[in-house]
């Protein structure tokens, strides 16, 4: 499937708590946007010293490395959910404790560069999944953490979740200049 034909999900296709992250994704070619969004994040993080990956803006908060590990884990989980439902699997899927996942990831034992490379690899798989998906299955729904969600909603949740964390990196971690304005020419 060409992600450019993946239309925006309706509000009844995902839990209301996800509406703000879905709203962060502009209309248009989702696959292209996912790639441009990743490129902008990698470019911005590439200017940081590697040691900055362990920076926390306050005690008890996630480090920059933790945030990247979280985005990677969530992208995998969200795409896995979409895969299950797209293939007709109606087994209810459990939620997950994001804090426990971050702790278990031990991201601060890794370099910022290593995490950026992994995110790039995961994002490539995500985009490939959406590009090969049959459009007729995007309206299928499944249960995750007790909520009914459509396949296409998971695409927008995945994209918006990554953008949400880019905003947090900019606003709370002081990684300035994160491009957040989408225009016809791309991310500016």
3-class SS letters over the chain? CCHHHCCCCCHHHCCHHHHHHHHCCCCCCHHHHHHHHHHHHHHHHHCCCHHHHHCECCCCCCEHHHHHHHHHHHHHHHHHHHHHHHCCCCCCECCCCHHHHHHHHCHHHCCHHHHHHHHHHHHHHHHHHHHHCCHHHCCCEEEECCEEEEHHHHHHHHHHHHHHHHHHHHHHHCCCCCCCCEECCEEC
Q: How many domains does the chain have?
A: 1
Q: Identify the weakest region by mean pLDDT among 96-105, 127-136, 153-162.
A: 127-136
Name the average pLDDT for the chain. Answer: 89
* In contact, 141 and 82? CB cutoff 8 Å: no
| pLDDT greater than 70 at residue 3 | no
For the segment 71-84, the average pLDDT, to the nearest whole number, is: 97
Q: At residue 147, what are phi and psi to the nearest 5 degrees?
A: -115, 140
Q: Which domain holds residue 51?
A: 3-187
Q: Give the bridge partners for 187, in sequence order.
A: 182
Structure tokens at 36: 């441009």
- For the whole model, what pTM was predicted? 0.89
Question: What does the CA dihedral 43, 48, 50, 52 come to, rounded to 10 degrees?
Answer: -130
Task: Supply the CATH number for residue 123's domain.
Answer: 1.20.120.450
Q: Tell me the pLDDT band of 182, cut-offs 50, 70 and 90.
A: very low
Is the pLDDT score of 178 beyond 50? no
CA dist., res. 95 & res. 120, Å (int): 25
Say yes or no to pLDDT of 176 above 70.
no
Q: Is a pLDDT exceeding 90 seen at residue 2?
A: no
Q: Flag whether pLDDT at 142 surpasses 90.
A: yes
Total count of residues recorded for the chain: 188
Q: pLDDT tens across 23-63, in order?
A: 999 988 888 889 988 988 888 888 888 889 999 999 999 99
């Amino acid at each position: 499937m060409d992600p450019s034909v993946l239309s925006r999900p309706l509000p009844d296709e995902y839990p209301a708590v996800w509406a703000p992250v879905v709203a962060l994704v502009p209309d248009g070619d989702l696959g292209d946007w996912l790639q441009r969004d990743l490129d902008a994040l990698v470019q911005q993080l590439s200017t940081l010293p590697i040691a900055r990956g362990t920076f926390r803006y306050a005690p008890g908060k996630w480090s920059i490395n933790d945030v990247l590990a979280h985005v990677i884990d969530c992208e995998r989980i969200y795409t896995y959910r979409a895969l299950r439902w797209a293939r007709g699997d109606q087994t209810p899927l459990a939620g997950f404790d994001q804090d426990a996942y971050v702790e278990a990831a031990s991201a601060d034992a890794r370099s910022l560069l290593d995490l950026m490379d992994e995110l790039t690899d995961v994002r490539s798989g995500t985009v490939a999944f959406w590009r090969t998906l049959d459009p007729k299955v995007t309206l299928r729904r499944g249960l995750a953490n007790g909520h009914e969600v459509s396949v296409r909603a998971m695409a927008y949740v995945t994209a918006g979740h990554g953008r949400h964390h880019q905003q947090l990196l900019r606003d709370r971690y002081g990684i300035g200049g994160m491009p957040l304005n989408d225009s016809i020419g791309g991310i500016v």
